[in-house]
Amino acid sequence: MPVYALPAEVTLDSASGIRRLALAVLRAESTPWAVDATALTRFDSSILALLLELRRAAPQEQLEVRGVPARLNDLAAAYGLAFLLEAAAAYS
């Protein structure tokens, strides 16, 4: 399973470049795709757009997000996108 480790910071300024890198890494492998958010400490709502884009690009929309910080769980829930982070259990 391909895994892309997110950097410590994902903001509007960096999300586009991170998206390109993540897609390059993940597309080189098979499914399901995984993103490791363990290092993530500084982020804004653009992280949710990034995860949505990666999920849409993943074959059969299989994207597992690992090491999710509590604040990211809260942000996803506030935007009605908790399903993005709950998918991990389905692929374990």
Residue 66: predicted pLDDT: 95
Residue 90: predicted pLDDT: 47
Domain coverage including residue 26:
3-91
Total of domains in the chain: 1
Residue 10: predicted pLDDT: 97
Q: Are the C-beta atoms of 26 and 54 separated by less than 8 Å? A: yes
Per-position pLDDT tens, the chain of length 92: 778 999 999 999 999 999 999 999 888 877 789 999 999 999 999 999 999 999 999 988 889 999 999 999 999 999 999 999 986 544 44
Residue 59: predicted pLDDT: 86
Domain CATH number, residue 80:
3.30.750.24
How many alpha carbons lie under 13 Å from residue 53 in its C-beta half-sphere? 14
Q: 9 forms bridges with which residues in the sheet?
A: 42
Rounded Cα distance, 51 and 36, in Å: 11
